[in-house]
Amino acid sequence: MTKEDLKSLKPRHEFFIGIDSDGCAFPSMELKHKECFIPNIIKHWKLQPVSKYAREAAEFVNLYSQWRGENRFPALLRVFDLLQERPEVRRIGVEIPEVPALRNWVARAASLGNPTLKREIDSNPEPDLIQTLKWSEAVNNAVADIVVDVPPFPGVREALEKMVRKADVIVVSATPGKALEREWAEHHIDKYVRLIAGQELGLKKEHLGLAAGGKYPTEKMLMIGDAPGDMKAAKAVGARFYPIDPGNEEQSWERLRGEALDRFFSGEYAGDYEKTLIQQFNQLLPDTPPWKNL
């Protein structure tokens, strides 16, 4: 899959829908972060003495905050920043990685994934970039080993069946493409989507812009996601946003299939209905970690 595939997508229907994967279509987000990402953060960045606090920070950033669903590399930087702020960590005396080359790369890279990181290392072999790649590859290996036989949320298949009658549907995700293709094919729901776009093809707003921008009226474009980043991507291209509420995923998919899709297809989704859903969604994901409120 390349960016050219996204650019060359030709409309077959009047409507366009993008769908996030981890935590949105699949209940894999908690499993991936708690069993794959976080143990490898602790291992590869030598955070064993502060593992409790590293776990709390990583879970907050990746699962329970406004940064839920963020690309793994800026999310890793947020974890380091939270750890550096904690008095408990400073008292223990563990040195939290500074990773200046990683920060520089994240700030300027057009896309954030292992392939682009490898190319950066070829021209700039800084130790923190090399260590980041080792961590990221270890995460991918753990995901491939551990995250298997995880079916989509109840209601996803039925919603997809309804969508494809009137809309061109693609997957829009910050997950590596190979993992996405495996997970969607494993449960035979890849047949409902025309393209699967992962982190190698850029940011989610780029996926939406390339696949749908200028091809569909903005009021006929919808992004379905479980994270604020999905909502920002939708707004960046003028699309509507439908939230899958963390903790209430099954009910969110049932509401989509039974109510929201009909509103979207009839032109009655935008306005008070969408605003109410987004307000409820935003209340679920704070920007201040719970230990700062103690």
Query: Does position 42 have pLDDT exceeding 90, yes or no?
Result: yes
Given CATH 3.30.70.2190, say whether it is the number of domain 3-28+153-282. no
Residue 2 vs residue 131, higher pLDDT:
131
pLDDT of residue 90: 94
In sequence order, the β-bridge partners of residue 35 are none
What is the torsion angle, in degrees rounded to the nearest 10, for the CA atoms of residue 70, residue 72, residue 73 and residue 79? 80
Tens digit of each residue's pLDDT (9 = 90 or more) over 86-141: 999 999 999 999 999 999 999 999 888 899 999 999 999 999 999 999 999 999 99
Whether 291 has a pLDDT exceeding 80, the answer reads yes
CB 204 within 8 A of CB 181: no
**Which DSSP symbol is given to 9?**
-
Q: Are 86 and 291 in contact (CB under 8 A)?
A: yes
- The per-residue pLDDT for range 151-209, each reduced to its tens digit, is 999 999 999 999 999 999 999 998 889 989 999 999 999 999 999 999 888 889 999 99
In the three-class reduction of DSSP (H, G, I as helix; E, B as strand; rest coil), residue 198 is classed as coil
Pair type for strands 167-172 and 195-197: parallel
The pLDDT score that the predictor gives to residue 294 is 64
Domain layout of the chain by residue ranges: 3-28+153-282, 29-146
- Of 169, 182, 183, 266, which Cα lies nearest the Cα of 211? 169
More confident residue, 178 or 58: 58
Looking at residue 61, its pLDDT comes to: 97
Whether residue 58 contacts residue 36, with contact meaning beta carbons closer than 8 Å, is answered with no
Burial of 248 (0-12, 13-18, 19+ CB in 10 A): middle
- Mean pLDDT, all residues of the chain: 95
